[in-house]
Amino acid sequence: MLRKIQQVTLASCLLLFSGCAAMPFLNGPQRRALEAIPGLPPGYLDYSGIVHVHTLYSHHSTGGFDEVVNAAERAHVDFVIITDHDNLRWLKEKKEGFHGHVLVLVGTELSTPSGHLSVLGVENEISIKQDTRKILKEVQKSGAASFICHAQLKLNPWTDWSLRPMVTGMEVFNLPAEIYEDGYVKIGTKSFVYSPRHLMYSYVKRPDAALKQWDEILVERKFVGIGAVDAHQRFRFLGMALDSYDAMFEAVQTHALANDFSRKGIFEAFKKGHVYIGFDVVKPIRSFFFEALSAKGRVMMGESVKFHKGLKLRVFLPESARIRVLKDGKEWKSVSGDQWEGEADGFGVYRVEVYLNDKIWIISNPIYVR
Ligand SMILES: [Zn+2]
Ligand SMILES: [Zn+2]
């Protein structure tokens, strides 16, 4: 009944506010068929997932485990990674694993003295009552991957970049960081006027500050970029979630290229940088690939390759869009089409951004030409 009232209210608002008519028509998510992608090594598939989710085991979240699973099912993703603050309770309760077709993985978001850090693949809890360097040493010893969270968020930024050699990478896109930029009044107004899906669509933007930071680090070292929903399902009105998992899960996904659909396979992909950020709210992405074709064979995103004359770079897209290839953080090529191929222009870090109707759609991890 409540949902019905909300839908009617939203529909009335949408009719009342003519500005909404200018918005693009957004298709709902569809079940993705896992298909072989040209360029991927045999056995590798593109698995889409939701990264950085809080539940009632985080102090500021009210979400239940089943609510996460159901929202992931409805978003048609393959995996979801829960990262509650400073604990692995769902792992201890043996909830990790397949729930329907969704693989639920459990990591944790550590509140270190230098800022928040997502740790993926750790099996034992790590004390945060020690300095960040010691925390990172423990993470490294465990073999887990670690990602700096919402580095640019004014409320909770990352403060010690000298530690970057000890970290796997960073959240290049963090959804709440984009939302908070609007300020509470605008967020409130938009939540009332927009449908949840259009609201999320409005927050999908090129994360300029985070990309600038990432590009600076990439010139010097390998650093994996991921996209995070950082969903809390925190605010409820008469039991109904206002910042629902459903809305946030549709906005941004991190796609993992893996040959083993398991905890090990997915976390390995994150560690190696065999991942890319997809804004499926713009349009669901079934396949994307960025590779180098060297004399020795194919090299996928996240990997290094030795430069030689004739070294080729290739991009495959699900459909025609604008492809920007960046070299060392600066635009190097900009073309339209459903694929692109070109010769590498010497040493450098090459990465790809894709735009659909001028909206950011995909951000790849780099290929490091050394
Ligand atoms: Zn955080
Ligand atoms: Zn968080």
The ligand with the least distance to the CA atom of 83 is: 2
Domains detected in the chain? 41-281 (3.20.20.140), 284-370 (2.60.40.10)
Give me the average pLDDT of each 10-residue run along the chain (370 residues). 41 32 42 66 91 95 94 96 98 97 97 98 96 98 98 91 98 93 82 85 95 97 97 68 84 95 97 97 90 91 96 94 98 97 97 97 97
CA–centroid distance, 231 to ligand 2, in Å, is 7
pTM above 0.85, yes or no: yes
Write 176-185 long-range contacts (CB < 8 A, 24+): 176/150, 176/230, 177/150, 177/152, 177/153, 177/207, 177/210, 177/230, 178/203, 178/204, 178/205, 178/207, 179/203, 180/153, 180/154, 180/155
Positive or negative, the CA dihedral 183, 184, 188, 189 is negative
CA–centroid distance, 240 to ligand 2, in Å, is 21
CA–centroid distance, 42 to ligand 1, in Å, is 37
CA–centroid distance, 58 to ligand 2, in Å, is 9
Is residue 356 within 8 A of residue 200, CB to CB? The reply is no
- Measured in whole angstroms, how far is the alpha carbon of residue 276 from the centre of its chain? 7
* Residue (of 278, 282, 253, 279) closest to 51 by Cα position: 253
Query: What pLDDT was estimated at residue 243?
Result: 76
CA–centroid distance, 171 to ligand 1, in Å, is 11
Strands 224-228 and 169-174: what pairing? parallel
CA–centroid distance, 53 to ligand 2, in Å, is 7
Residues 117, 147: Cα–Cα separation, whole Å? 6
Is residue 254 within 8 A of residue 170, CB to CB? The reply is no
The ligand with the least distance to the CA atom of 149 is: 1
Q: Is 89 helix (H, G, I), strand (E, B) or coil?
A: helix
pLDDT digits (tens, 9 = 90+) for 4-61: 444 433 333 333 332 333 334 444 444 555 666 777 788 899 999 999 999 999 988 8
